[in-house]
Structure 1
Amino acid sequence: MALSALALSNYFDRKYLMKNATLHIIVDPLCGWTYGSVPLITAAENIDGLIVKVHSGGMLTGDNVKPVTPAWREFALKNDSVIAKKTGQVFGSNYTDGLLKTNDIILNSAQAITAILAAQELGISGGEMLNSIQHAYYAQGKNIMQLHVLADIALELGLNKALFETHFNALEGDATDQHIAQSRGLLHDIHGQGFPSAAFEFDTGKWKKADIAHYYGKTEQWVTYLQQSVALV
């Protein structure tokens, strides 16, 4: 059936708005709830015309880095169990019975954040690199605080390993710290409630908070919500 003139106009208006909308998502690579939201981030990146920007807030960086202790392991396992039930994400035995029992690991988000920034410079989306890093950590039990692990992940995504390491080294330190500070500023500005938090930005200058936490494990509903939220603005 042919679209009426009004329907056709509304269609193109919506397509135009979609092309001028950005979804900002603030995450942390060592946050279990961020891992639970990865299917939502991936789905958002696959919506035509919606720009997705991933920002890393550095939950476990600076003075907040943590050693893996028995107390942390107990906390993590309880939290991860809730996340798994709510989102369907897999926490593998190499993580639960391997990595979390390794007492000499210091949990630090900075290396993974730098890796995401390096991958983005080389054409990999923030969501795709985040997904791969968190899968390596939570599903496979790999130590993502190590550069060689992160470089192997980049290689699996089709990047040149040596080139990735060059970009990583250039971004490590000050550039990563600046990104974390900017991400935390954004988290404050949108009144985010931890990781992940999300908000739409429109070319009109208007912002609108996106209720990402409501859609854990509900990817199809999340896609509909994104499309409707953007189209109705």
Structure 2
Amino acid sequence: MSQTKTVIYLFDPLCGWCYGASPALASLAGLAGLALDLLPTGLFSGAGARPMDEGFAAYAWANDQRIQAMTGQPFSGLYRTRILADRRRPFDSGPATQALTAVSVTAPEREFQALAAIQAARYVDGRDVTAAQTLSDILAGLGLAAAAALVAGREGGQDGALTAATAARVERGRQLMAEHRANGVPTLLFDDGSHRRKLDSDILFSKPGRLAALLRAL
């Protein structure tokens, strides 16, 4: 009996390059004998969060245009005017990371779908995914009622278990980054059941089929 292979995806939900990598990750759906394990690294949460000031917004938009040119992933005018121009909320991936953890503990097989929906809500629809209500609405719209309820409860400070689960996932993600000397996200690790190694992240930004073809051959 063949052993299941696992791709570990180290990411941050507010990382533009991770959004750019989404088509390549989506191409893995349905590959026989392959599991996808999403692990947030907390890169832009906690001490990594920062104000959305004018300088950072300009830097982000310039970077986003590079990502769009390379991957075809859209960064809309709504995102630029509603998100990058909003000085009231910080650049903080903590709430989105919590929301994805809520999915991971209630419907783990749908976490990538939830990540893609959160990314599209931000970068295409210009919705504020630093707000728990927005995140709860996104999850509810996907039919993820249990996860949506957890996120809504977290907004009122009612779910310490969700906070603890999020912290544990982020810690594991950071440990793997350190172990494999990863410099940033997105990072891909491949585990064949006996050995784990880091893959070249550049493959995430080429034609999506290249990643699937590589993994079939490993």
Tell me if TM exceeds 0.5: yes
Task: Answer yes or no: is 1:228 the counterpart of 2:212.
Answer: no
Q: Note the 1:114-133 alignment, pairs <5 A.
A: 114-123=98-107, 124-133=109-118
Distance 2:26 2:74 in 1: 16
Contact 2:57 2:84 in 1 (8 A): yes
Measure how far apart 1:113 and its partner are.
0.7
- Partner of residue 199 from structure 1, selected from 181, 184, 189: 189
Q: How many residues align?
A: 210
Q: Which runs of 4+ in 1 moved over 2 A?
A: 163-175, 212-215
- CA distance in structure 1 between the aligned counterparts of 2:127 and 2:65, rounded to whole angstroms: 19
Identical-pair percentage: 25
Deviations along 1:174-222, one digit per CA (max 9) or x if unpaired, are 3322221111111111222310001111222x11222232331410112
2:122 counterpart of 1:137: yes
Specify which of 183, 204, 209 is matched with residue 215 of structure 1.
204
How large is the Cα RMSD of the aligned pairs? 1.6
Over alpha carbons, which structure has the higher Rg?
1
- For 1:54 and 1:107, the matched residues in 2 are separated by 21
Indicate if the aligned counterparts of 2:5 and 2:34 stay in contact, CA closer than 8 A.
Answer: yes
CA contact (8 A) 2:136 2:149 kept: no
Deviation at 1:34, TM superposition (A): 0.4
Between the aligned partners of 2:10 and 2:73, the Cα distance in structure 1 is 19
> Do residues 173 (structure 1) and 163 (structure 2) align?
yes
- Determine helix, strand or coil for the equivalent of 2:215: helix
Task: Provide the secondary structure at the position in 2 that maps to 1:25.
Answer: strand
Report the residue type matching 2:62 in the other structure.
K
From 82, 85, 89, give the equivalent of 2:69.
Answer: 85
Structure 1 CA distance, aligned partners of 2:210 and 2:193? 25
Take 1:30 and 1:194, find their aligned partners in 2: how far apart are those partners? 13
**Does structure 2 retain, via aligned residues, the 8 Å contact 1:26–1:54?**
yes
Cα deviation code 1:38-83 (max 9, x no counterpart) = 1112222331220000000111111221111110111001100100
Number of the residue aligned with 2:82 = 98
Q: Which moved more, 1:218-227 or 1:24-33?
A: 218-227
Moved more, 77-86 or 120-129: 120-129
Asked whether the 8 Å contact 2:10–2:187 carries over to 1, the reply is yes
Q: Normalising by the residue count of structure 1, what TM-score does the alignment of the two structures yield?
A: 0.84
Alignment equivalent of 2:138, drawn from 142, 153, 157: 153
Which residue is 1:58 aligned to? 42
Paired AA for residue 76 in structure 1: A
For residues 110 and 214 of structure 2, the distance between their equivalents in structure 1, rounded to whole angstroms, comes to 22
Q: Which moved more, 1:168-177 or 1:53-62?
A: 168-177
Q: Which residues of structure 1 form unaligned runs of 5+? A: 1-12
Contact 1:110-1:176 at 8 Å conserved across structures: no
Specify the code of the residue in structure 1 equivalent to 2:113: E
Aligned to 1:43: 27
Matched with 1:4 is none
**CA shift for structure 1 position 172:** 4.0
